[in-house]
């Protein structure tokens, strides 16, 4: 069951229906439409209802991707998310069950905004190893759940959403065949993008009694007040994101024999319009070759690349045969890139 390459053959997306405009935020926070647009390029983001979980978004995007691929079954599900339904268990098995996929392999990937590319690489690896003939790869996040309500910088940036692709085994020369992914990380920058509290290093609550409980309480007190919200060091992240995404993209292009000038479309993680332009400039690519979707939905974290692909394809910005580079940067720090020729498919 070995495969030469993993071929992208289906694409589906979903965003929740509730839109929050910059003017809506300005009624709650010290901000304005001009302030947000000038710094981020974002005009609107969509927020999941209180009773909607990440798995709900992932299921809908996955269902649409399967329909796009004209199939109702896959051998594995890989879900990239920073906002799982629960700390335990993983969310992917629930998504697989709700999609009616049976007892297929299913697992989560945590690489923050690079999550979709890490999941894509994992799915391609399952295909290349012969473990699966087809894989559903999903990026889904509900960042609205982890944002500080009083933090205008993060609330202006992030929105909720999900996007998914189907990979199948095929030949390296086919449209949609993924080139060798480029992945990297730098844990020395782990404090630049973080939700500090809620894990084993700094739990939100300390349980237990006796010596163990007292020691735990002491550690919590020394760490200060728990902080369950997403935090980001914007300037340092900007610098790292531009450098890492541009360099990874050029490396991924070289792996398939492309020069920078050969790249028709650079579909980058939709973090910030200034970052997108700076990456294109660093690669000496015309900015019009870098599709923009964040103005309509904000930064949707692991969902942003499939959402941007779907929008570009639906609006004619991305057409079959386009030499396409996918790239992302996220917490960890993590980054990645992957090349493919865009296939003929209908996004759902």
> Per residue in 210-230, pLDDT tens?
444 444 444 443 446 889 999
| Least confident window among 28-32, 201-205, 275-279 | 201-205
Q: What would the two tokens of residue 317 be?
A: 């910005």
The sign of the dihedral angle between the CA atoms of 274, 277, 281, 283 is positive
Measure Cα distances from 62 to 74, 135, 158, 250, 302 in Å. 11, 11, 21, 30, 14
Select which of 22, 240, 272, 299 is catalytic: 299
Contact 319, 289 (CB under 8 A): no
Of 150, 147, 152, whose CA–CA distance to 35 is shortest? Answer: 152
Over 80: is that where the pLDDT of 187 sits? yes
What integer is the mean pLDDT of 293-306?
98
**How confident is the model at residue 225, as a pLDDT?**
82
Q: Is 272 designated active site?
A: no
Which pTM was predicted? 0.93
Q: 152 in helix, strand or coil?
A: helix
Select which of 9, 113, 290, 338 is catalytic: 113
The total of other beta-carbon atoms located within 10 Å of residue 335's CB is 29
- Rounded Cα–Cα distance for residues 208 and 211 (Å): 9
Select which of 9, 22, 240, 269 is catalytic: 269
Give the pairing of strands 18-21 and 44-47.
Answer: antiparallel
Q: Which residue has the higher pLDDT, 2 or 95?
A: 95
**How confident is the model at residue 272, as a pLDDT?**
94
Q: Is 277 designated active site?
A: no
Over 50: is that where the pLDDT of 326 sits? yes
Q: What residues form DSSP beta bridges with 184?
A: 335
- Give me the DSSP letters along 271-311: S-HHHHHHHHHHTT--GGGS---HHHH-B-GGGHHHHHHHH
**How confident is the model at residue 209, as a pLDDT?**
43
Q: 199 in helix, strand or coil?
A: coil
């Amino acid at each position: 069951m070995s495969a030469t390459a993993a071929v992208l053959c289906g694409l589906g997306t979903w965003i929740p229906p509730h839109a929050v405009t910059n003017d809506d935020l300005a009624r709650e926070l010290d901000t304005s439409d001009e302030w947000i647009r000038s710094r981020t390029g974002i005009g609107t983001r969509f927020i999941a209802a209180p009773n909607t979980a990440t798995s709900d978004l992932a299921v809908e995007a996955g269902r649409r991707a399967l329909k796009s691929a004209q199939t109702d079954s896959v051998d594995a599900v890989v879900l990239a998310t920073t906002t799982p339904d629960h700390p335990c268990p993983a969310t992917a098995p629930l998504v697989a069950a709700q999609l009616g996929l049976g007892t297929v392999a299913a697992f989560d990937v945590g690489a923050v905004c690079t999550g979709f590319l890490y999941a894509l690489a994992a799915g391609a690896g399952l295909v290349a190893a012969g473990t699966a003939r087809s894989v559903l790869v999903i990026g889904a996040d509900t960042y609205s759940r982890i944002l500080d309500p009083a933090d205008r910088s993060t609330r202006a940036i992030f929105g909720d959403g999900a996007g998914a692709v189907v990979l199948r085994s095929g030949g390296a020369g086919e449209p949609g065949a993924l080139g060798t992914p480029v992945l990297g990380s730098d844990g020395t920058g782990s404090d630049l993008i973080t939700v500090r509290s809620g894990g084993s290093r700094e739990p939100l609550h300390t349980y237990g009694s006796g010596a163990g409980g007292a020691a735990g309480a002491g550690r919590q007190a020394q760490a200060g007040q728990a902080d369950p919200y997403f935090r980001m060091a914007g300037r340092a992240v900007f610098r790292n994101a531009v450098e890492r995404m541009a360099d990874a993209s050029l490396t991924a292009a070289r792996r398939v024999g492309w020069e920078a000038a050969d790249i028709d479309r650079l579909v980058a993680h939709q973090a910030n319009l200034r970052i997108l332009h700076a990456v294109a400039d660093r690669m000496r690519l015309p900015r019009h070759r870098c599709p923009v979707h964040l103005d309509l939905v904000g930064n949707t974290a692991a969902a942003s690349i499939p959402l941007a692909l779907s929008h570009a394809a639906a609006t004619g910005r991305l057409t079959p045969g386009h030499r396409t580079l996918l790239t992302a940067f996220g917490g960890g720090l993590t980054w990645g890139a992957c090349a493919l020729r865009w296939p003929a498919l209908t996004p759902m």
